[in-house]
Structure 1
């Protein structure tokens, strides 16, 4: 019997302004009411499916933040503040501009075009903008009330539309939403957000899923430890002028410790496995993972090919190179199957996609009925490209798996146990990530290297201040929290001339705001370069959200 091991990776970076705490982008909340709730609903309904769900601590912290906002009514997300305004006539110009800029950021073919009332709001805005520069002033309070409501409805999960009460009612109503309508919608969405972590915890406690973690704020750990790791798979990689990230090994360890602490607090038990940020591993980081006591970790087939040759297979588990601490099991994702789900099947009819996937599984099973099939991908960003948020795809796929006795779904800890006697020894580990098997997405481009140099300079300042002894315990904790946010991989992901200008500008600005806040916490002057954008370019604008490859 072949083992199919799904890993659904849930991650969003910290979108909160470091001073005000206000969310600069609403993607954590919108993915929570759409993707995190739908993925939980699929697993609750299909009781035979076993899988691993990976949560990043910085995401869990923001989900907690949203739950607190709903509990207190102290809104730190502009979208929620606007939706909760009893009379949109009193919306500030800033909030109106924010909503007009944000409220059509979605994948239009599946999330906007199917809804006539939502389309009409878009068409009105387009007409006003193209025919009269002053026409925006004439948009009524009813327009903004309907727009905020429809943006929330468009991002609501399919499970909420099918099983909820107020959401299907409001979608049927279509327009003229009252303050009572919007409050009822917020009440339902607030209950959804508050229930997310308990739902996943219950699934784990029932033995149906395994919950794993990622280090702290999702740092690119191999680069924290050693910039030269980038040259293992890309020998000509241009490196930052700074020779290293100061104290990178201890910072990587701190993110590992933060992951275990946060995970245990939220889910009641320590994680057994770890999906590294961006699937990025190096030997030095692998040593830390083993020393920290994790039983398994994972990366991509690209890393496996660079480490063990083109013929190395993902259909078995692997042991780390000799000398690696602990008793780790390594998994490498099947890139073909993972990318079919992440990028291709959204163009197919759900039943056809599920049948094709099952055919692919059968081929692997026929090769060896003990094969491991590791399918790892983003659990949040692919589904808006599917009709009905992939509802029918998951239904058909999970039902087909239930009917197939030759394929069993397993958690990664179960896969490690089942594969223990079949593990192969990795001769060496070539540092890399799930993207091309290299680290080129986070280093090597002039803008990315410039950001690393700015972070290195800030870290030197932080080290001197922390070592001086002049900070009390609370101030030290504030510095370390802000430093952890600055170390996120997401800032470096977006910088470069091949991403959307809108996304680049936002992440560039938020990265520099976090650096600025760090210097203020250190009571040091902010360097002049922090005031200037790092990146000057960008590619084709995207539909919105953190539209990354599914990892």
Structure 2
């Protein structure tokens, strides 16, 4: 009896943070890049290092890579030459003087409360007590005058310790000792924490590069600042999956095709500089694809791209595509030169939203059961694509997903009927690539662009961006800027075009997150006008969106298929 064909499985983890710096001052406005490095990026690479016969695809947004590089430079500069750090929270960790001003103290205290209560805070009784005190202080503001420096020192130390990856907590003797200490943290202790952080920031990119060289990992890239390419190319593409959606007053984004080319070129340049080779694949920001986007990606030289399963489902409903079926295959759109893989939304969303509530062994067993069913009931050479946010799910799991990810890689790598592989290997091994006559434009979230456009506040953001782009075009065409000024303005514009600002606009999101991202978006636009030598519109001084919602997982992740309400 001939051997049964193994089910090909691609685990693709997308690592992405937007530009958190004020590019004019260099200050990091939010700490999420370095916190996700020490918690999620080091854990993910450590899990792969621990199972050498496992394989995966890891996608990096170039603007994230640049921030990791800048953090590493700054933290090492502090440790070696006492050069100041431009992230206020990280700088406070090594500041010998705790601020005396109550408002400054409260700012630090509130920054150290941004963590998962059940999995990160309540896991450690010593830190839980500090947070309970912080909760009380929020409602008894005058009492801050009586809070001593040790409280601030301890909450800063603990906050950074709880954000350490589980693999660090298990293997680094300094982290173990500091966790056991529990209280009374000194400046020496806090500097020791920064030394651990510096090592992770300095080494993390090299660790991924080493696994790619061994062939255990495929590294891929997104457009530079993570814009939604189909919307830059044609705002009306949103109507393909949402015919009734209200769009911005902006008819079309000016020069969108040139901007997409800029983001792709700059993204690949950044990737090549840090990893030493050109990537074969591109995860388009948020899996955002359209006919035009796929053509551009193919013309750019990429072998593969990927999107959400709902995009394929929408496309297969078109009469032009009626002869095709099945999500577990790559497809090639007519008149393009690129294979497009599609996310199994059901399996991916189980990892993202459900398995965190399960025992790790049961969760992995359930996933493998689903995969075995696919292998048994679908004919031919199949590729199951599990494509996931690589950083935001794990804080909802016990111990940062350590037990789940360990079991996942070990059991999949040793499974007799499942082959862990990469998208490029699938194409090299000549898996069947099915034809697709036409594609319905959409993203990995619900198969639409509703997360970024179609809502009043999101549309307002697009109109503000359109105003800035028209001013940019006017100034550039006047040829009044130096080459350096043009480059600075192009970079600032790219940051404004990122997807994350639009993601968070809307009252269904949490208030603090909406406020943080809305402020940064307005700051980014104001900085662009300043670089162009133009006066910023008065509306950039005013808040235009607020949040009051409580979405699943804090809103940082969304499922591929819209979940029923209630």
1:12 match = 17
1:499 match = 509
Contact 1:221 1:281 in 2 (8 A): yes
2:398 match = 387
Deviation for aligned residue 1:86: 2.1
Structure 2 residue 162 is matched with structure 1 residue 154:
yes
Cα offsets for 1:181-226 (capped at 9, x unmatched): 1111110111111101101011101111000000010001101011
Deviation for aligned residue 1:306: 1.1
1:281 match = 289
CA distance in 2, matches of 1:406, 1:62: 40
Structure 2 residue 559 is matched with structure 1 residue 547:
no
Structure 2 residue 425 is matched with structure 1 residue 417:
no
CA distance in 2, matches of 1:475, 1:283: 34
CA distance in 2, matches of 1:115, 1:418: 48
> Quick one: which of 481, 490, 499 aligns to 2:500?
490
TM-score w.r.t. length of structure 1: 0.96
> Quick one: which of 296, 307, 327 aligns to 1:314?
327
CA distance in 2, matches of 1:10, 1:98: 28
1:121-132 matches, within 5 Å, as 121-130=130-139, 132=140
Structure 2 residue 532 is matched with structure 1 residue 527:
no
Aligned residues, how many?
544
1:209 match = 217
Cα offsets for 1:466-495 (capped at 9, x unmatched): 111111110000000000000001111111
2:81 match = none
Contact 1:79 1:99 in 2 (8 A): yes
TM-score w.r.t. length of structure 2: 0.94
1:33 match = 38
Cα offsets for 1:125-146 (capped at 9, x unmatched): 233444x441111111000000
Contact 1:317 1:423 in 2 (8 A): yes
CA distance in 2, matches of 1:261, 1:361: 37
Distance 1:72 1:156, change over 3 A: same
CA distance in 2, matches of 1:251, 1:244: 13
Deviation for aligned residue 1:541: 8.0
2:129 match = 120
1:344 match = 354
Unaligned runs of 5+ in 1: none
1:189-204 matches, within 5 Å, as 189-204=197-212
Structure 2 residue 151 is matched with structure 1 residue 143:
yes
> Quick one: which of 238, 251, 255 aligns to 2:263?
255
Deviates most, 201-210 or 305-314: 305-314
CA distance in 2, matches of 1:291, 1:98: 49
Cα offsets for 1:120-176 (capped at 9, x unmatched): 10122233444x441111111000000000000111000110111211101001000
Deviation for aligned residue 1:105: 1.0
Distance 1:223 1:275, change over 3 A: same
Structure 2 residue 375 is matched with structure 1 residue 362:
no
Contact 1:82 1:95 in 2 (8 A): no
Cα offsets for 1:206-259 (capped at 9, x unmatched): 111000000010001101011110001111111111111100010011101111
Distance 1:314 1:418, change over 3 A: farther
Distance 1:483 1:388, change over 3 A: same
2:299 match = 291
1:268 match = 276
Equivalent position SS for 1:438? coil
CA distance in 1, matches of 2:375, 2:276: 36
Equivalent position SS for 2:260? helix
CA distance in 1, matches of 2:331, 2:226: 24
Deviation for aligned residue 1:312: 2.8
Contact 1:382 1:550 in 2 (8 A): no
Equivalent position SS for 1:13? coil
Contact 1:263 1:269 in 2 (8 A): yes
1:388-467 matches, within 5 Å, as 388-420=399-431, 422-467=432-477
Deviation for aligned residue 1:24: 1.3
Unaligned runs of 5+ in 2: 1-5, 79-83, 561-566
Equivalent position SS for 2:386? strand
Structure 2 residue 387 is matched with structure 1 residue 376:
yes
1:201-240 matches, within 5 Å, as 201-240=209-248
Q: What is the alpha-carbon root mean square deviation over aligned residues? A: 1.6
Deviation for aligned residue 1:378: 0.5
Cα offsets for 1:337-357 (capped at 9, x unmatched): 100111100000011111111
1:56 match = 61
Structure 2 residue 347 is matched with structure 1 residue 334:
no
Cα offsets for 1:352-389 (capped at 9, x unmatched): 11111111111111123622111000000000000011
Deviates most, 291-300 or 368-377: 368-377
